[in-house]
């Protein structure tokens, strides 16, 4: 488990395709040119088509310079004023310094971040991919920073939470969970970089994807300037490449779930009712101002509650109940 989501690690001892073996960060078939970038407004249809085909898409210029500056200032200020929230002091067992630092739940105490939860440039693409705005549910919002010289091999290829019916259901889309990673610093071959294996969302292991995709297997780093957004299906295999250790990387991660029931089809079962996506984590909390928002649309967006959230709401948002939940103090 990592950050509340399943991680499937591939080790150097895993045999695939005869004597071919998996390295900790993949098979080395890197293809940076595979990642086509789109403008989120003028090329929205093409961006969504690309996502439907490959399970990820890169969007340029999603954040304007003022927003990039605002969020980087937030990093600087909160790391100075609330270092414990970033794991810069005290004991944080769930996120290690050599892999990166993370502010897990900044929305709890910082309403100035609320406008970012449905950002006007990336969110419409998210809504289209998940089947319409009425089907989009908020799951998680956090900030991460990979420091200078964070350590080589700090992350293996893995996928996040994935639904078991994904292997054979028809149609596959819309996906179950979607993550949006916004770059707050420039990302290039010298920096830590998000890297994805396109079309790997129907495979159990990276080795299976390598064999099954054959010549279509690619490990695709997504480079881009600050303000770039990468959307990916959480079921596809991905990692963070190391870079040369000379530069830090800052990213804002937001996860979405799909709400509503769908009609789908499975071999041997036939037509069935595909349920809304289950909750992504058992610890993430939504503050009262969002969970009980007076606007019905925003209340629907923040309606995907886990048991911890239900307990907190039932307590009248008691701060002590929050404190006792995993990561509730942060």
Per-residue confidence (pLDDT) for residue 312, from 0 to 100: 98
Q: Which of the two residues, 91 and 257, has the higher pLDDT score? A: 257
Structure tokens at 152: 């080589």
User: How many whole angstroms separate alpha carbon 144 and alpha carbon 255?
Assistant: 14
| Res 184 pLDDT > 70 | yes
| Res 2 pLDDT > 50 | no
Element at 47 (helix H, strand E): helix 44-54
User: How many whole angstroms separate alpha carbon 273 and alpha carbon 169?
Assistant: 11
Per-residue confidence (pLDDT) for residue 20, from 0 to 100: 41
Q: Which of the two residues, 41 and 3, has the higher pLDDT score? A: 41
Average pLDDT for residues 261-277, to the nearest whole number? 95
The answer to whether the CB of 12 falls within 8 A of the CB of 22 is yes
Q: Which of the two residues, 200 and 18, has the higher pLDDT score? A: 200
pLDDT band at 17 (very low <50, low <70, confident <90, very high): very low
Instruction: Tell me the CATH class for 27-280.
Output: mainly beta
Average pLDDT for residues 192-200, to the nearest whole number? 96
| Res 129 pLDDT > 90 | yes
99 exposure class (CB count in 10 Å sphere: 0-12, 13-18, 19+): middle
Per-residue confidence (pLDDT) for residue 246, from 0 to 100: 86
pLDDT band at 53 (very low <50, low <70, confident <90, very high): very high
User: How many whole angstroms separate alpha carbon 283 and alpha carbon 325?
Assistant: 7
Q: Which of the two residues, 20 and 113, has the higher pLDDT score? A: 113
User: How many whole angstroms separate alpha carbon 200 and alpha carbon 213?
Assistant: 8
User: What is the percent of the chain where pLDDT is above 70?
Assistant: 88
54-101 pLDDT, tens digit per residue, is 999 999 999 999 999 999 999 999 999 999 899 887 655 445 545 688
What rounded mean pLDDT belongs to the chain? 89
pLDDT band at 25 (very low <50, low <70, confident <90, very high): low
| Res 9 pLDDT > 50 | no
Per-residue confidence (pLDDT) for residue 148, from 0 to 100: 82
Average pLDDT for residues 274-300, to the nearest whole number? 97
Per-residue confidence (pLDDT) for residue 219, from 0 to 100: 96
Average pLDDT for residues 12-40, to the nearest whole number? 68
Q: Is pTM, for the whole model, over 0.95? A: no
Per-residue confidence (pLDDT) for residue 99, from 0 to 100: 64
Per-residue confidence (pLDDT) for residue 57, from 0 to 100: 98
């Amino acid at each position: 488990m990592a950050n509340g989501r399943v991680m499937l690690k591939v080790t150097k001892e895993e045999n695939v395709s005869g004597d071919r073996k998996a390295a900790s960060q993949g098979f080395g078939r890197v293809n940076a040119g595979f990642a086509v970038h789109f403008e989120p407004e003028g090329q929205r249809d093409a961006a969504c088509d690309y996502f439907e085909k490959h399970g990820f898409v890169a969007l340029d210029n999603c954040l304007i310079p003022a927003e990039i500056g605002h969020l980087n200032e937030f990093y600087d200020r909160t790391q100075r004023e609330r270092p414990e929230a970033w794991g810069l002091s005290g004991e944080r067992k769930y996120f290690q310094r050599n892999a990166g630092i993370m502010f897990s739940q900044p929305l709890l105490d910082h309403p100035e971040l609320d406008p970012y939860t449905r950002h006007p440039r990336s969110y419409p693409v998210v809504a289209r991919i998940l089947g319409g705005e009425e089907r989009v549910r908020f799951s998680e919002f956090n900030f991460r920073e990979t420091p200078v010289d964070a350590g080589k091999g700090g992350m293996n290829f893995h996928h996040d939470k994935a639904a078991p019916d994904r292997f054979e259901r028809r149609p596959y889309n819309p996906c179950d969970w979607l993550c949006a990673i916004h770059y707050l610093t420039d990302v290039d071959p010298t920096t830590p970089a998000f890297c994805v294996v396109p079309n790997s969302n129907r495979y159990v292991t990276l080795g299976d994807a390598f064999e099954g995709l054959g010549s279509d297997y690619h490990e695709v780093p997504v480079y881009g300037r600050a303000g770039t957004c990468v959307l990916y299906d959480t079921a596809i295999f991905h990692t963070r490449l190391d870079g040369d250790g000379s530069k830090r990387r800052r990213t804002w991660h937001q996860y979405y779930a799909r709400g509503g029931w769908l009609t789908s089809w499975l071999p041997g079962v036939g037509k069935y009712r595909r349920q809304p996506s289950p909750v992504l984590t058992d610890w993430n909390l939504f503050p009262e101002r969002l969970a009980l928002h007076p606007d019905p649309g925003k209340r629907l967006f923040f309606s995907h509650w886990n048991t911890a959230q239900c307990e907190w709401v039932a307590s009248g948002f008691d701060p002590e109940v929050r404190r006792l939940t995993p990561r509730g103090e942060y």
